[in-house]
Amino acid sequence: MWLAITLISVGVVLSGCQVEAPIQDPMIVTARLVDLLHDPDPEVRRTAALSLGKIGHSAAAPALVQALREDPDPVVREYSAWALGEIGDTLNHNAKIHLVQALGDESIAVKQAAATALGKLESSQEVMNLLSEVLIIGGRDSRRAAVKALMDLDGKAVYPALVQALSDSDPQVRQGAVAALGELGDPRARPLLRRRLLRDPAVGVRAEAAYRLGLMGDRDDLPALQRIAQTDPTPLVHLWATWAIQRITG
């Protein structure tokens, strides 16, 4: 019944009259909300997209994909991406592809919403392949969003894409890749993190690498951490390297 209350609260007129009775069937409400995604008022379309996400019915996916692709209002596109994430793994292949493509949207908020939605999906190979492609040919903001999506995805399947992102030209992408590899906890990543710690020109990347080595490293990582603690001119990097040394040595 809360669904009907949601519709009434925004003053939505359905089928030429105000909703007067609670509607309990999610399919009925979903169908009416889908119609509202075409309303001329962007505020109505925004509310419809949010409401469809709260219901989370897979029948709304095609309309949400269309809104994500075509709606001129960036907030509608953002909420549509979020709603698709709430529908989750019942999304078909086409919807997942469009979420990945939304990482190239001109709106940063849409990119972030799409990345968050992708992070709620199982790390299927099709999603992994598309995210890897974004990391190769996407713009800066799209690559940042792709790394965020990879960080939220579970499973060892994301490892190759994250290793690839360590060589990205953008320091925020590299830092995101370091953080994501740390979250994975895969021991294969430790030599790669040591290399970022010792050689990366960006302070944020070196500090992130020191922090992650402190969480997942062992005594084999101490020489690199001790070297950076003694030679790095940046207080932030020095701080995290010293912390990591103390954590590993107990």
201 and 138, same domain (yes or no):
no
172 pLDDT higher than 70: yes
- Per-residue model confidence as pLDDT tens digits over 116-167: 898 887 766 777 787 888 888 888 888 988 888 888 776 677 888 899 999 9
250 and 154, same domain (yes or no):
no
| The pLDDT value given to residue 11 | 38
205, two tokens: 């990347």
Neighbour tally for 189: CB within 10 Å: 23
pLDDT, greater one: 136 or 75 = 75
| The pLDDT value given to residue 23 | 53
243 and 220, same domain (yes or no):
yes
206 and 122, same domain (yes or no):
no
Identify which of 106, 105, 112 has the alpha carbon closest to the alpha carbon of residue 152. Answer: 112
pLDDT, greater one: 237 or 126 = 237
Domain stop point among 144, 165, 186: 165
| The pLDDT value given to residue 50 | 95
- The enclosing domain of 77 has a CATH number of 1.25.10.10
176 and 156, same domain (yes or no):
no
Identify which of 182, 178, 184, 119 has the alpha carbon closest to the alpha carbon of residue 146. Answer: 119
226 and 128, same domain (yes or no):
no
Domain stop point among 137, 165, 193: 165
Structural domain containing residue 69: 1-165
In contact, 29 and 3? CB cutoff 8 Å: yes
Interior/surface letters 98-113, b for 16+ CB within 10 angstroms, e for the rest: bbbbbbbbebeebbbb
| Residue 221: pLDDT band with limits 50, 70, 90 | very high
73 pLDDT higher than 80: yes
CA–CA distances in Å: residue 223 to residues 67, 113, 197, 228? 53, 40, 11, 9
The total of structural domains in the chain comes to 2
Domain stop point among 140, 165, 190: 165
Query: Could you tell me the pTM of the whole model?
Result: 0.70
122 and 208, same domain (yes or no):
no
